[in-house]
Structure 1
Amino acid sequence: MMPSYFFAHGAPSIVLEDNEYTALLKSFAATHPKPKAIVLFSAHWEQTTQTVAAAEQYSTIYDFGGFQDELYRMTYPAQGDRPLSDQIQSLFAQHGIPSVLDEERGLDHGAWAVLKLVYPDADIPVIALSVNRYLTNEQQYEIGKALSALREQDVLIIGSGGTVHNLRRLNWRANGVDDWAEAFDNWLESKLEAWDTASLFNYMELAPHAQDAVPTSEHFIPLLLAMGAGDETRQAKLLHRSYQYGNLSLSCWQFN
């Protein structure tokens, strides 16, 4: 059964960087079976109704400003997979989750920056999925769980976001990690490895420095979605964790 994954996508410039985290992403394809398709929840696609991409061919969305010119020339011309989009919508319906299809939207940087590092040839069909910050954490988990059957079909489920993501607290000259960011991620690590969903669903009340780490939830949600997809086996493994700018977390979690 294909594991599901959470990948932090960091700043858009991650696709140009050379560090331990990008090295892990670049080596992923060589060390893991090639999936039949990729289903990816991006923190940068927010909708109040669960939306399933159904594009035949994706455009590349440059949903950022002030970065290197090279980024605005990059493309990720992935193909869609309409039968898989329809299957995903059917799975959502079976679990009482309303959803709609979107045939027009391209891939935002939360999707293509990660995918360009992991599968640079863009030769695997992609289905992008939206996130909704207005649902409960239990509902987020259930959305991921609704898609768990896809793992048996060699479909790779990815949540792309960030566990500590507070742009107002970034320190562009930092050489180390802020204590508060590390404390939050340490708490999160212990609860994920124990598969303590009761605590995780209440992380805002229980985790240290949660308000600083997660001022808005859209980047945290993909973690719960990817975790939900691993509900059948309930094994969480931290593959990498590092930080940029003092507290922007770059982490990779595997759920299998």
Structure 2
Amino acid sequence: MNLQTLPGLYISHGSPMLALNPEQVGPALERLGENLPKPKAIIVMSAHWESNALEVSTSIRPETWHDFRGFPEELYQMRYPAPGQPELAEQILKRFADANLTAYANNSRPRDHGVWMPLLHMYPEADIPVVEISLPISMTADDIFKIGRTLSVLREQQILLIGSGSITHNLRELNRHGGESAVPEWASTFRNYVVQKLSHRDFDAVLDWKNIPYVERNHPTLEHFAPLFFSMGTGERFSLVHSSFTMGSLGMDIYRFD
């Protein structure tokens, strides 16, 4: 069997409106899906599945969850019916156990928009099995990095690993009134610092997130940044796939790890 090693990705999924208004990042996701070898399966850690303990979705066919309010009705009609893959979920659970990472099966979790929204652009046919893993709020950055490192070997089985969040995510600071808006210095400085450190393979500086400039203003809560720690664990070589901002300060970067 000729399997091609896939990268790990960090995808900024932005607002749910990305599904209807792709802006710059939608075409970037489409190109990524076209240019990568087609995955045999996809594993996603999403900012929108925070949990006390590490969990893995074992559902055969998870429901598409519209886990947001106040958006156009058209958005709530969208479905992403990609199947789950319980066999892969069991393999993930075994790898976690072998790495002394306590994890639990969850067969009822619906698929949140941090999973289906970027995949809608990358793989619109929804014909690739998807397994979601949770973001444990009790874990440190190093622990989440270890989760990515533990699953990194699956890349050799043509499985795509994705951390889904947003490189900057302060909803109170967004310009929601449309039109072009200047990127504030606190957002660009934060984003540029992270990219510089990753480019120089200084992963420790990013894992030491409390000392990143303007971290609290960019991430009043950490759940959209933490999936990056997972993605960093999947590969040692960083490359920048896409960079843009929307609504002023919402960073829409995509990173690749090989």
Shared fold by TM > 0.5?
yes
Match of residue 195 from structure 2: 189
1:177 and 2:183 aligned: yes
Secondary structure at the counterpart of residue 104 of structure 1 = coil
Distance in 2, matches of 1:110 and 1:18, equals: 15
Q: What does the per-residue CA deviation read over 1:97-118, in whole Å, with 9 as the maximum and x for residues that have no partner?
A: 0001111111101111111111
Residue 202 of structure 1, CA deviation = 1.3
CA RMSD between the two structures: 1.0
Structure 1 gaps of 5+ residues are none
> In the alignment, is the contact (CA less than 8 A) between 1:133 and 1:221 conserved in 2?
no
The residue number in structure 2 matching 1:98 is: 102
Q: How many residues align?
A: 252
- Look up the equivalent residue of 1:90 and give its one-letter code: K
Structure 2-normalised TM-score? Answer: 0.95
Structure 2: which 5+ residue stretches go unaligned? none
Aligned to 1:113: 117
Q: Does 1:215 align with 2:217?
A: no
Q: CA deviation at 1:144?
A: 0.7
Distance 1:30 1:91 in 2: 30
The reply to whether residue 26 of structure 1 matches residue 30 of structure 2 is yes
Q: Please state how far the C-alpha of 1:19 moved relative to its aligned partner.
A: 2.2
User: Secondary structure at 1:96's aligned position in 2?
Assistant: coil
Q: Which moved more, 1:170-179 or 1:50-59?
A: 170-179
Tell me the residue number matched to 2:51: 47
Q: How far off its partner does 1:247 sit?
A: 0.5
Deviates more, 1:38-47 or 1:163-172: 163-172
- Conserved 8 A contact 2:161-2:231: yes
Work out whether residues 133 and 217 of structure 1, in 8 Å CA contact, stay in contact via their aligned partners in 2.
no
Displacement, 1:17?
1.2
Pick the aligned partner of 1:242 from 238, 241, 244.
244
Q: 1:224 matched to which residue of 2?
A: 229
Q: Distance in 1 between matches of 2:47 and 2:7?
A: 20
Alignment check: 8 A CA contact 2:11 2:162 kept: yes
The one-letter code sitting in structure 2 at the alignment partner of 1:190 is Q
Q: Does 1:203 align with 2:209?
A: yes
Aligned equivalents of 2:18, 2:34: Cα separation in 1: 20
Q: Distance in 2 between matches of 1:217 and 1:18?
A: 25
CA distance in 2, matches of 1:52, 1:128: 6
CA distance in 1, matches of 2:173, 2:96: 37
Give the C-alpha shift of residue 134 in structure 1.
Answer: 2.4
Shift of 1:6: 0.5
DSSP 3-state at the match of 1:218 = coil
- Does residue 77 of structure 2 align to residue 73 of structure 1? yes
Q: Secondary structure at the match of 1:164?
A: coil
- For residues 157-176 of structure 1, the aligned pairs below 5 Å read 157-173=161-177, 175-176=181-182
The reply on whether 1:2 has 2:2 as its aligned counterpart is no
Q: Distance in 1 between matches of 2:73 and 2:185?
A: 34
Aligned to 1:150, which of 151, 154, 169? 154
Aligned to 1:133: 137
Distance in 2 of aligned mates of 1:153 and 1:138? 25
1:248 and 1:235 map into 2 onto residues whose CA distance is 25
Cα displacement (A) at 1:248: 0.6
Whether the 8 Å contact between 1:4 and 1:157 is mirrored in structure 2 is yes
